Chain A
Amino acid sequence: MDILNALVALLNFVIIPASSYGAQLALGALGVTLIYGILRFSNFAHGDTMAFGTGVTILGTWGLQAMGVSIAPLPTALLALPFGIAVTALLVLGTDRAVYRFYRKKKSDPVILVMVSVGVMFIMNGITRFVIGVDEIQFDDGERFLISAKAFKEATGLAEGLSLRSTQVITVVTAVLVVWALFWFLNSTRTGKSMRAFSDNEDLALLSGINPERVVAVTWIIAAGLATIAGTLYGLDKSFKAFNYFQLLLPIFAAAIVGGLGNPLGAIAGGFIIAFSEVSVTYAFKKVAGYLGPEGWQPDSMLQLLGTEYKFAVSFAILIIVLLFKPTGLFKGKSV
């Protein structure tokens, strides 16, 4: 029996990675859920908005680095975030003006807006690659580890290492803060309430003196901010590659849906559910069982419920099961 090592192994390979991945998904899902909640359509361009925002932030980071500005041990990119957010906000506001507004005025079906967002996705996709290219970019320049596996082993003398990256901690903390802020904003501020009113009944909002264009603009600006933050934190933790942000879209949507569309708390819950189901259901418990079993014993099989090639399938299966019991997600989301 070696409970300590078992615990560390579990922490290192399941709990910590799943938490930070969950927070990354949650941040992305927040943007999707916000757009859905207020503007009532699933925005397929969100993944590419994240990519664009991150791309701009990277440009800003390079600029800052060239000027010798740094906030070590934190990554410089955090300092460049406002710049990234501002540019991204301009882009999405422009997109709204040029594209979405027309369909909003026409009161088109949500599905039309979804397809339109697919078109926007293609275009943003092109713009991002055009501006910053297709290559992988590493732009994390701060202190990478809070605890590194090696240092942990040396310090504790355990067989298992434990690593904790600073980006992981930043991501989780940011996700929690942002959710709290968004929740507070939507439920307690005048602007937030006007946004919810707009989402409920556009015509009536108009009759109450709410300026729809302002609501829409605020929504897009927040969404741009969320996208840029989410994208940048993800990029810091992994690396930036335009193509990956498109791939991120699927788990992000899954997270937003399983939590209940339109609900910030749902996005957080959904992110963690998807991440934990991916990581834990396919985890091989061989080593952990080995530590927990008698000295020197090792199980023969991997003790793995399902191979990792099915990890996506597993998280979707869990999503479907949740939906069967809660048809509009855990937190009673909206449905158009």
Chain B
Amino acid sequence: MSFLDASGMTGGYGAADILHGCTLKVEKGQIAVIVGPNGAGKSTAMKAVFGMLRLRGGHVKLDGEDITALSPQERVAKGMGFVPQTHNVFPSMSVEENLEIGAFLRRDDFRPTIDMVYDLFPILRQKRRQPAGELSGGQRQQVAVGRALMTQPKLLMLDEPTAGVSPIVMDELFDRIIEVARTGISILMVEQNARQALEIADMGYVLVQGANRYTDTGAALMADPDVRRTFLGG
């Protein structure tokens, strides 16, 4: 039984379906990466897993429990964390407040986690008092990931966390994601920096037009010349 088991998801925003029986699974402590062309429905699938989209078919199970009917808020309480692709910071609040809000549901002392995030993204320590809306694109992205890390989720979902961040930060980030996974947290992420992402992935999904096209281990997908050419940019 996978930790996250979202099977046969079908649904969309309006009348037309975007997802057509899409299936995503992540094991405990493993990293799953979704790749695919623009508009394939990757973000939509993430939203569906998080309950921000009404599904017409399929189900979502977390740790064996069916959560298909739960609201996003209830899913947060169940230990799911999510960084959306866009609009992923609180622009008028300071960097530090953004992180604090990430820990909103936590009752323990979250100072160490903040320090951990600052160590991960040193620039944020410098900018802790600055409103997130005044940050550069890449800095914002770091805040967004930091916020999600603050929740200390059991399943962390990241929609293109490395879009716009510099190579050095991207390396750091992937590094940290591996570390996080090692502590037993499952990770589901969408990436366009697909080759780097698949290298650290236990599982890879290639999504095309709302359906699974290829599903395999990260390494296997990397090795498939077809996949490389069509989806990973050669």
Contacts and interface: CB of A to CB of B under 8 A. Distances in A.
A206 interface: yes
Interface string B67-90: 000001100110001101001111
B89 A204 contact: yes
Contacts of B87: 201, 203-204
Main secondary structure of the interface of A (DSSP, over half): helix
Interface stretch (B8-16, B94-102, B166-174): B94-102
Interface of B: 50, 52, 72-73, 76-77, 81-82, 84, 87-93, 97, 100-102, 104-105, 147, 151
Nearest to B150: A208
Contacts of A68: none
A196 B90 contact: yes
Contacts, number: 63
A40 to B, nearest CB: 12
B82 A201 contact: no
Interface of A: 190, 193-194, 196-197, 199-201, 203-212, 334
Given A196-B93, A197-B97, 15 more contacts: A196-B90, A200-B90, A200-B91, A201-B91, A203-B84, A204-B87, A204-B88, A206-B73, A206-B76, A207-B72, A207-B76, A209-B77, A209-B104, A210-B101, A210-B104
Contact of B76 (A194, A200, A209, A212): A209
Given A193-B97, A194-B101, A209 B73 contact: yes
B101 to A, nearest CB: 5
Contacts of B52: 203
A322 B66 CA distance: 57
A262 to B, nearest CB: 9
Nearest 10 A/B pairs, CB to CB: A209-B105, A200-B90, A209-B76, A197-B101, A208-B104, A208-B101, A209-B104, A207-B82, A197-B90, A200-B92
A211 B73 contact: yes
B186 to A, nearest CB: 17
Contacts of A211: 73
